[in-house]
Structure 1
Amino acid sequence: MRIRRSFGEAAFDALNYLLLAMFCLAVVVPLLYVVAGSLSSNEAITHSEVFLWPVGLNFDNYDFVIHNRVFWRSFGVTAVIVIVGTTINMVMTLLTSYPLSKSWLGGRKPILLFIIFTMIFQAPMVPMYLLIKELHLLNSIWALIVPGALSAFNMMLCITFLRSIPEELFEAARVDGMSEYGILWRIVTPLSMPINVTLILFYAVGHWNNYLGPLLYVTDPAKQPLQLYLYNLISQFDMDSAGGASSVLELSSKLTPQGLQMATIIVATVPVIIIYPFLQKHFIKGALLGSVKE
């Protein structure tokens, strides 16, 4: 049976579709422009002939990026930060969320209030830099991992999800002699896979896109992550940032700064675009379960 809708409902749906289409265009059009520019010839880019479709197909930009050792060095630094940082984030989040999800835990409310306080009031930039300096973490990946080892917002999502797991499961495990750590790793972790995948995506994307931390704490070019490399490439575009002095001749004769910048951005974005579709189902489920409390 077809439900008949009023004019107001139809107009509301049409307005929603229009707004969503505009938002999609706002996201897709810049991405298509960057892709088209990265695949266009140097002359087309120089004369501003490129918009949403490549003009004079050219793969020299990607060839330069793929064989650029400076780029892959920064890519490797970022990969290490993402893997190590996300692992520490998840361990800290689970170890903190599991006990705080228990209503019978003594001192639970003051601890939660203290953590929520850090969500509202955060340390300013200068004291944070001085703290990192005193801890001798400058020019190391730990300066980008340790300060954000635990996200209060993600911890609250995890706590809300863990409260939905029946307490009877934990009581049965305790009767069988299982320790609290055994319950956490053998029962809680498998059952909370949707929220775990969601938090892994949050943490990993946060580490991948972080450039303010490296900009403040990393001055050694050999240790700069990918986002700082992109920042230097786009804002300054010196030859050392692009790929070293040995590539100056090749860069000036075959490539343009704009095309090289666009190709580098696309290559740096591809890993996140490839991984997200495999996590989308768990991400949506985890976000919904972790945000609603019955």
Structure 2
Amino acid sequence: MNQGADRLACCMPLRDPGPELLETLASFERCEAKPFLIVVDDGSAVPVEIDFARFGLDGMVFRFKGKVGISTALNTGLILALGLGFQIIARMDGDDLNHAARFSKQLAYLDEHPECLAVFGGADLIDEGGALTGSRTPPVDPGRLLRAMAMNNVLIHPTAAFRAEYISRIGLYSDAFPRAEDYDYFMRGLAAGVVQVMNTPLISYRLRQGSVSFTHYRQQLTSRLRVQWRYLRLFGAAGWIGMARTLGLLLAGYLLPVRAVGALRRQWSYAFGPGARTLRRAGSSAADAAGHRSVNA
């Protein structure tokens, strides 16, 4: 029985997706509540074509002829979903896997918590081959979540489900924080007191081991630092610690190879970061996910 398709959409921006996309689409087919899937093709070299009926889905592909960037792709999906009248808009990436109860759990949570406009959850961590390497759930307690967010964005983007009211109240993603647009977007919701976290894994989140240029890494850290400064009053003392950490990583990036900086970041998360105890149990692969999918995610 397909519960939720009448009020639930899911936005999935893609650019040159890999073979994992078929696994992602198959995970939608197994969901108890199937959303209307809105795929935004951000200028892929080979245009994305999806046979939605093959996976028991309704959906659409909106295609840009050239690359427009992640913020524009995300906003396009949100605007399309709002224009089609959907009340709840979820997020997904083209290489992660939905758990079967993901959307039904989020719909039920939002029904039970009318004050919540955006709900996130945890994730099982899988490697590039799909093997389970650990798990991660952001802090559920609002105070602990805010302290964790002072260090970095710990909310898992593809677990998000927004009410339409979130977009009308908070707005769209900003392109003013390249490679940290999600951090800014979620902090706007946290500052408004409308973001909550479910203490349950909702997806399988694929870790990548790809290399990254220092230019991209520096851009991410610079944007992170600007978000931390923007919300410093909200963060309190933890915000100063978070900014010092980001400045340290940024400085180290000029002095050390990017891989060495990534190792320092992982060691911080392993020892002191949010969910450190869980990460230590899960091992180094889980620790690698304490910040983002990869250094420049």
> TM-score w.r.t. structure 2 length?
0.24
Q: Which has the higher helix share?
A: 1
Q: Greater relative contact order: 1 or 2 (C-alpha under 8 angstroms, separation 6 or more)?
A: 1
Q: Which has the higher strand share?
A: 2
